[in-house]
Amino acid sequence: MYSSPGASRPPRIAVDAMGGDHAPEEIVAGAVLAAQESNAQIILVGDEPRVRALLRGSKADSISVMHAPEAVPMAQSASAALRSADKTSLGIAVGLVKRGEADAVVSAGNSGAFLAIALIKLRTIEGVSRPAIATVWPALNGPTVLLDSGANVDCRPEWLVQFGIMGSAYSKGVLKVENPRVAVLSVGEERTKGNQQVLETAKMLEAAPINFIGNVEGRDLFHNIADVIVADGFVGNIVLKTGEGMIADLAMVMRETLLGGSLLTKLGTALLAPALRGLRRKFDYETYGGAPLLGLRGNCIVTHGRASRNAIKHATLAAVQEVNHDVVGKISEMMATPHPAAEEA
């Protein structure tokens, strides 16, 4: 049973130390960085001898370790991961949240396994049919939340409405947007544009307890036209991966052009270096931490399998923010408000 953490104690964050391409080294280092920047009680779940050997630096002694004899392979099927969940670092970390021994779980491991284990162990909030992965986009005029970013490739319109409500609660609670603008991703901004799914979703979103502003197009993702953008997981994941690839390639082209130019170009680059570093931080996915898996009766943060220690730090701090702002409680309250999608759930 989910319960909001008491204000008198710091949030307890379980981190899957064995999940990800660079586990456990980068995971442990990221957890230490997060401990240095927050009051969170961090619990590393993994191969205890390996994890303890990596714990070093300021506040490393404040981090606890729980042994897990196995890890979920990145390529393992969700069904196989479920069968061995009680032995793996990911399954045990989620179990801590289920039993109320942790307030949130963070993993850079197998995202399909994470979703399946969390769904079975934690269950969805009443009124929510499917959990959704929400990613925060570094838009020009403020961050935008995109969901679903890959948890559900085939969606019913009522699920998309629930995503809009959950995204609105997250934007309001964590990003401090007073009245989040919610839009649906479509092929045109006119209300008549879109496939049947989008048209039905837009009609239902108008009756939902949110600030629905209509349709947005792909070109609007980096302009903060809306604070929350709703799409099914198939479209959302393609958009996410396209955006990440574009930003990474643009950064590479800029670096090659500026550093491979004339002496005058290199001198100009040196003068611009502080501004360029700031620009890189603004559009670096690692700065925004992991993606919350919204709709479950527990706080879950998914981050990249290739996550570095910096990404793990920010993902852990994102979990702290989600706990502190009681996102699960806020979603539960909004889902309890009568609306068409709640009747369909």
Encode pLDDT of 142-188 as tens digits: 889 999 998 898 999 999 999 999 999 999 988 999 999 999 999 98
Of 3-12, 71-80, 119-128, 266-275, the least confident: 266-275
Q: Indicate the domain borders of the chain.
A: 1-126+295-333, 129-288
Mean pLDDT, rounded, for 205-230: 92
pLDDT band, very low/low/confident/very high, at 337 (cuts 50, 70, 90):
confident
In this model, does residue 227 exceed pLDDT 80? yes
More confident position, 273 or 332: 332
The CATH number fitting domain 129-288, selected from 3.10.580.10, 3.40.718.10, 2.70.98.50, 3.30.1490.100: 3.40.718.10
Is the omega angle on the peptide bond into residue 24 within 30 degrees of 0, that is, cis?
A: yes
Least confident of 106-120, 196-210, 251-265, 301-315: 251-265
Once rounded to an integer, what is the mean pLDDT over residues 31-45?
96
Q: What percent of the chain has pLDDT over 70?
A: 82
Check residue 261 and give its pLDDT.
66
Rounded mean pLDDT of 38-63?
95
Residue 282: what pLDDT? 57
* pLDDT given at position 243: 75
Mean pLDDT of 304-310: 89
- The pLDDT of 26-50, averaged and rounded, is 96
- For β-strands 132-133 and 291-294, DSSP reports them as antiparallel
Q: What percent of the chain has pLDDT over 90?
A: 67
Q: How confident is the model at residue 116 (pLDDT cuts 50, 70, 90)?
A: very high
CATH number attached to the domain at 1-126+295-333: 3.40.718.10
